[in-house]
């Protein structure tokens, strides 16, 4: 599957191997990744497409804003990744 803007991917290579990221921009052979914490939107990680694995399409508010060309914040990216993590493991939060 082709990795597109606002998808959630996992890094397959490098020191960030195994980490989840949001695709915040794309070029021909590269994607630009951010997680809102270690890799902020101001300085996204440039990575070759073959070095990431598609995880899922995101339907979060941050993903919709990215697709519409609106401004997204680092906290929205972190929240979307946390919601994906919670949904994946069936967590509802709280105590």
User: What domains can you pick out in the chain, each with its CATH number?
Assistant: 7-89 (2.30.30)
**pLDDT value at residue 88:** 82
Q: Is 22 exposed, middle or buried (0-12, 13-18, 19+ CB in 10 A)?
A: buried
* Residues 6 or more apart in contact with residue 71 via CB below 8 angstroms: 65
pLDDT tens for residues 4-63? 999 999 999 999 999 999 999 999 999 999 999 999 999 999 999 999 999 999 999 999
* H/E stretch holding 52: strand 52-57
Q: Report pTM.
A: 0.87
Choice between 72 and 2, residue whose per-residue pLDDT is larger: 72
pLDDT tens for residues 67-81? 999 999 999 999 999
The model's confidence at residue 91, banded by pLDDT at 50, 70 and 90, is low
**pLDDT value at residue 29:** 94
Alpha carbon 55 to its chain centroid, in Å, reads 9
The model's confidence at residue 93, banded by pLDDT at 50, 70 and 90, is low
The Cα 95–Cα 78 span in angstroms is: 21
The Cα 63–Cα 65 span in angstroms is: 5
């Amino acid at each position: 599957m082709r990795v597109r803007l606002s998808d959630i991917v996992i890094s397959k290579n490098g020191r960030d191997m195994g980490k989840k990221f949001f695709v915040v921009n794309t070029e021909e052979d590269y994607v630009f990744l951010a997680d809102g914490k270690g890799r902020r939107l101001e300085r996204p990680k440039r990575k070759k497409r073959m070095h990431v694995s598609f995880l899922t399409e995101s339907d979060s508010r941050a993903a919709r804003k990215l697709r519409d060309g609106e401004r997204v914040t680092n906290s929205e990216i972190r929240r979307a990744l946390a919601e994906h993590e919670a949904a994946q493991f069936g967590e509802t939060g709280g105590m």
